[in-house]
Chains A and B, each alone.
Chain A
Amino acid sequence: MTPRFNFLAITSLLLACIALPLVLHDEFLIHSVIMVLYFGYLASSWNLMCGYVGQISFGHSVFSGVGGYASVLLLTGMGWSPWLGALVGGIAAAVLSVAIGYPTMRLRGPYFALTTIAFAEIIRIWFENTDVVFGIQLKGAEGLSVPLIGTSWAKFQFESKVPYYYIILGMLVVVMTITWLMERSRLGVCLKAIRGDRDAAESLGINPTRYTLTALAMSAFMTALGGSFYAQFIRFINPERNMGTELSIDMALMSIIGGQGTVFGPLIGALFLAPLAEITRTYLGGQFAGLHLALYGLVLIVAVLYLPKGLLHPLRQVARRAFAKLRGGDAKGPQLPVPAVLPVQGDAK
């Protein structure tokens, strides 16, 4: 697949997404599509750090919760626009992520994953059991709702769901562009080196803590923006839904099943898994609560055993083969030249 082909494919896909609300008039369907894109966004944000460094975080929902609470509280308490509130929430989440990440980054594998759960649970339990802090109403487990204050872009409230669709689509494009740019930057190369072999990377002069924390802060910032979007879209926020372990696991699952450490993997994972949740909720109602999650579990087991690189990898091979056939070339597709020694530029001080 040539770069020109990729460019054309992505552009046409994006145009199709932009045109979608013109043909899709059903509010409920648009809601479902928004949820799928929202999960794609969260999975992509998770992937920014975890996918590239190879450290699994099961505590990312805390960042989305912090973002959501910041934008809701700033709106209801100070009358700030949710756009500004989301930014404040993002910065708060980034600061929090560095505070959590600095001591825990040196833990490896499962220990890191378990620690992120512990941190996230501490913050969630605190939110659930705190009604008022410094005179700010948090309302504990009950949660906060966002009052209707008229429709306008500044207030992030619209009568139809279409503007929300475009907002989350834009956010998704932004996070994927950031991932794409990061992959090609020095940061991305260093992160991959750390993922491959942390000790070797360190011996080359790459500071693992610095690079991982930078990626973590970016990831937390983006996750928090997603949390604000969700809170303003649903107009309700509570610790269980917005900060719970389940949300963290969803983000991680979609990214891992789609293909972590790639630009499109998390989106593929979300496109595959999120509709499962929407479909079972719509057609089976409360009859089989848990069915979609049971399927998630099954898919995760199969993916870890048989598709350790995620769904994107086999999809890419199929596409490559089909493309090669179209061009009449050999079935293997264009071979990338493999350098004998992977160059890691700079940083060897």
Chain B
Amino acid sequence: MDTYVLTYAAFNGLMVGAMLGGIALGLSLIFGVLRIVNFAHGSFLMLAMYFAFWMQKLGGIDPYLSVLIAAPLMFVLGYFVQCFVIGPLIRRERALVVEPISALLLTAGVYILIDNLALMAFGPNVRSTPSLVQVTSLMVAGFPLNTFRVVAAIAALAMAAGVSLWLARTDMGRAIRATAQNRDAAAMSGVDVPFVYNVTFGLGCAMVGVMGCLIAPFIPITPQVGLSFGIKSFIVVVLGGIGSIAGSLVGGIVIGLFESVASQFVATPTASIFSLGLFILILLVRPQGLMGRK
């Protein structure tokens, strides 16, 4: 195997990995704070991709500009999904402890509903959306890298840094972290836990919405695109450690590098079999993930 080809694969893997990490950020945050597995995570990504597509097609708005509209809209969507769909389940259970399995089923219902509504509304056709950005490849150290991927990877890193800062510095961020650590203690200290839940869910959706718009220029858009990214995000989150922002990026990069380099030696489907196997192995051997604390 050629060193050049391998290094190139590693570069690509690094970028795809950062992108996967960025997509998984929202899932990790929701998982860490609400302790529920959001099965509909990929569906929100798919919605954002369609949003970018239609904004481009109907309004001529570049996907990179529609990020600015998609993020607040997805925040509102997530806020209301938590408020009206998941909230009642949490309210029904005493002491705000949700039986994890009912929450999983509930979000699975949301996933099935959204994906098939999208299928009905947009049809099964594969769409793609162009961007005004004309330079399709950048030369980095002698390797031609896809501009869109570079942008998505950098945006993922920037978003992770921004959210970490926001969580560390602001009152709302502090309330979210307090709720994640111990919701009863947080509630007793005056934190409005249901509101924190709504904001967290909205924030998670906004983050996945940003990534959805950014990957729309280079990922084919179909109503089913969500589930595969959703499953990848579970793998990334479990690998990196649940609720850890840095872990999400590290997990994403590990999976991206692994699949990209492995697919130089074996067929791509076999590489994805390996990453699913890695997921099972991590759950069985090191359930706290690479970056998580026990």
Contacts and interface: CB of A to CB of B under 8 A. Distances in A.
B120 A288 contact: yes
Given A114-B37, A290-B223, A298-B113, A122 B104 contact: no
Interface stretch (A33-41, A124-132, A224-232): A124-132
Given A114-B37, A290-B117, A296 B104 contact: no
A75 B287 CA distance: 43
Contacts, number: 117
A169 to B, nearest CB: 29
A297 B113 contact: yes
Interface in B257-294: 267, 269-270, 272-273, 276-277, 279-280, 283-284, 287
B220 interface: no
Most chain A CB neighbours (cut-off 10 Å) among B99, B105, B273: B105
B88 to A, nearest CB: 6
Nearest to A126: B273
A296 B116 CA distance: 10
Contacts of A107: 283-284, 287
Nearest to B270: A129
B280 A300 contact: no
Interface in A112-140: 113-115, 117-119, 121-122, 125-126, 128-129
A56 B104 contact: yes
Interface stretch (A22-30, A65-73, A179-187, A301-309): A301-309
A110 B108 CA distance: 11
A54 interface: yes
A19 interface: no
Contacts of A117: 231
Contact of A294 (B99, B112, B235, B238): B112
A114 B109 contact: no
Task: Say which size band chain A's interface belongs to.
Answer: 35 or more
A293 B111 CA distance: 10
Nearest to B101: A109
B101 A291 contact: no
A289 interface: yes
A291 B120 CA distance: 7
**Which of A293, A297, A305: most chain B CB closer than 10 A?**
A297
Nearest to A118: B276
B110 A297 contact: yes
A256 B109 CA distance: 12
Nearest to B106: A304
Nearest to B103: A110
B283 A122 contact: no
B124 to A, nearest CB: 7
A114 B234 contact: yes
Interface residues of B, number: 45
B97 interface: no
A113 B101 contact: yes
A157 interface: no
A104 interface: yes
Contacts of A339: none
Interface string B85-112: 1001100100000011111111011111
Contact of A301 (B106, B270, B276): B106
B119 interface: yes
A294 B231 contact: no
A103 interface: yes
B29 interface: no
B16 interface: no
B227 interface: yes
A162 to B, nearest CB: 33
A249 B108 contact: yes
A104 B284 contact: yes
Nearest to B123: A289
A301 B110 contact: yes
Residue from B108, B273, B283 whose CB has the most chain A CB atoms within 10 Å? B108
Contact of A110 (B85, B100, B109, B113): B100
Contact of B105 (A128, A288, A294, A300): A300
B272 A300 contact: no
Contacts of B234: 114
Nearest to B278: A118
Contacts of B106: 300-301, 304-305
A115 to B, nearest CB: 6
A308 B102 contact: yes
Contacts of B105: 56, 256, 300, 304
A158 interface: no
B154 to A, nearest CB: 30
Contacts of A219: none
B78 to A, nearest CB: 16
A131 B224 CA distance: 25
Given A56-B101, A110-B101, A304-B105, A125 B269 contact: yes
- The 5 A-B residue pairs with the shortest CB-CB distance, nearest first, are A297-B113, A297-B112, A300-B109, A290-B119, A290-B116
18 contacts: A109-B101, A110-B100, A110-B101, A110-B103, A110-B104, A119-B280, A122-B276, A122-B277, A125-B269, A129-B270, A249-B112, A289-B124, A290-B120, A294-B116, A297-B114, A298-B113, A301-B113, A305-B88
Interface of A: 54, 56, 103-104, 107, 109-111, 113-115, 117-119, 121-122, 125-126, 128-129, 245, 249, 256, 288-291, 293-294, 296-301, 304-305, 308
Given A121-B231, A290-B223, A300-B112, 11 more contacts: A110-B36, A111-B287, A113-B37, A114-B283, A115-B279, A122-B276, A128-B269, A245-B227, A290-B117, A293-B119, A294-B117
